[in-house]
Each structure stands twice: as structure tokens, then as C-alpha cells.
Amino acid sequence: MSSPSIHPTTHHQLNKRTSFTQSVRNSLTMAYRGLLKIRRTPEQLFDVTFQPIIFTLMFTYIFGGAISGNVENYLPVIIPGILVQTVITTSIVTGVQLREDMDKGVFDRFKSLPIARIAPLAGALLADTIRYTIATVLTFTMGYIMGYQPDGGLGYVALSGLLVILCSWAISWIFAFFGVIARTASSVQGISMIILFPLTFLSNAFVPVKTMPGWLQWFVNMNPISHLVTAVRDLCNSGTFGWDLTISLIGAAVIVLIFAPLTVRSYMRQT
């Protein structure tokens, strides 16, 4: 054993609460852990690599002719739609992996350390934005290869990518909540799919709303996913933004404000 006089971390004083800066620092460390894990097991990036490639190809060539006359004209419609759909679906994995992770012994140690309670959750969610980024870049790249030339220009395309990543991060709090309260990882996957599948498909992501029956139009226009898709289309295709962007951001904020505390509370209650 080394001499006991060199321990920088021993307690000069005992703190009753964790400060905000400590919470941020702890969360960043946990995010670093998430990145290390991704680096160690790159096969878990399989879904974010192949889903954008396959979905973009499939949807564009299947629906392109029927919906927009040809593939060229469909690209400005479908790429933002696919982007939102793919990246948000990716956020389900966050909840599933969180559940798996929490079942492991290492979470006991995190719980026994004097760290911010939110850090293991916030860190995991933060690390997963790397997944969203990969999916985003790949979707746009696929679009570009297939001939998509967004009129908004690169700056607005990047901005729309950021918007989607931000919103997916917000939505991942919902799945994190399921992850914390569910018993098994597969049930998290199940519940999340049931919620997300209708939300992404009952939107304007793939098909113009005008072609739908009236009652469905009502839902699709309400659906926050539709607003996000529209916001992305506006940014990419014309470099404009408006009400849809605002609604998307407000929606994201509301989700985080509701689900982040809820998730942390359930996480702490399990101790």
C-alpha cells in the first residue's frame, strides 16, 4: 500500500449536496465512459450505420415515383423525413442500453459514490448523441450520393442536423425513463417501439398530409414529429425557419423538463 499521506481526494470537508459544477463534471465523466464503451464495442454502432443507409435507399426508390413523380423530386421530402425517423428511432437504444447497464454491478458502485445522482443517466444520454451524429451524417451523405442538393446550403443543413440531434436527445429521456422503470431490456424495446412507430409513421415524414383521410390529417398535423420534419425541410430546402422550429424546440424542452426529473427520481427511488 502506498503511504496514506497522498490522497488528494480524501475529504477536506464533507459536502451535504453536490454542486451544479460537480453535477456537470460527473456527467461529463460518465459521458466519457459511454464513449469508451462505444469504442470498445463498435458493433453496437451497427444499427446507426445500416439503418440510415438501408432506409434511405429503400424508401426513396419505393415511394419516390409514386409520391413525387420521380426520385429526384422526392429527395427533398424524404431525406428530412428519414433523418428524423432514423435518428429518433436510434434514441430507443439509449433506454435499452441504460436498462442493461443498470443491471450490471458497476451501477452499484456509481450509486455508492458521492457523485451527482443525475450523472450516470445524463452521461449515458450525452454519450449517445454520438450515435445520433453518426446517423445524421450518414443520412445526409446517402442523400447527397443519390443526388440530393439542399438549396438551404451546408450551414443550414448542419443546423438542421443539430436540431434533430437535440430533439432526439430530449426524446431519449422518455426512453431513459422506461429504461429505469422497466424490468428487462427487451420490454423497454417493446414499449418504446409501440410508442415511436405510430408517432414517426403517422406524420408527414414520408407522405404528403393532403393524401390522408381528414381524421388522420388532424392527428398528423398535431404530431410534434411532423413539426420537426417540417422545420428540417425548411432549413435544408430553403434556409428558412419559423413556427415549426419554435414548436420543435419548445416540445424538446417540455419533454426534458418532465422526463429528466421523473427519470432521476425513479432512479433514486430504486436505491
Partner 1 sequence: MGYEHRKKIKAEDTNWAVEAHGLVKTFGDNRAVDGVNLNVRAGSIYGVLGPNGAGKTTAIRMLATLLRPDAGSAQIFGHDVVKEPQIVRQLIGVTGQYASVDESLSATENLIIFSRLLGLGRAEARQKARELLEEFGLTEAAKRPLKHFSGGMRRRLDLAASLIARPPLIFLDEPTTGLDPRTRNQMWDTIRQLVKQGSTVLLTTQYLQEADELADRIAVIDRGRVVAEGTVDELKTSVGSSSLHLRTQHPQDIEEARQTIERVLKVESNVSSIDGKISAPITDADRVTDLLISLREANIHLAELSVQKPTLDEVFLNLTGHGLENHSKQSGEVEEAAV
Question: Would you tell me which residues interact with partner 1 (CB under 8 A)?
Answer: 1-2, 4-5, 7-12, 14-18, 22, 25-26, 29-30, 32-33, 36-37, 40-41, 104-115, 119, 271
Q: Are 240 and 150 in contact (CB under 8 A)?
A: no
The one-character DSSP state at 210 is G
- Residue with Cβ nearer partner 1 (96 or 205): 96
- Residue with Cβ nearer partner 1 (10 or 211): 10
What lies within 8 Å, CB to CB, of 191 at 6+ separation is 178, 182
Q: What are the residue ranges of helices labelled H in the chain?
A: 20-40, 46-68, 71-102, 106-112, 119-127, 129-145, 154-181, 185-201, 214-222, 224-238, 243-269
- Residue with Cβ nearer partner 1 (211 or 271): 271
Q: Are 50 and 90 in contact (CB under 8 A)?
A: no
Nearest approach in angstroms of CB 263 to partner 1 is 19
* Residue 143 CA to its chain's centroid (Å): 20
- Residue with Cβ nearer partner 1 (18 or 221): 18
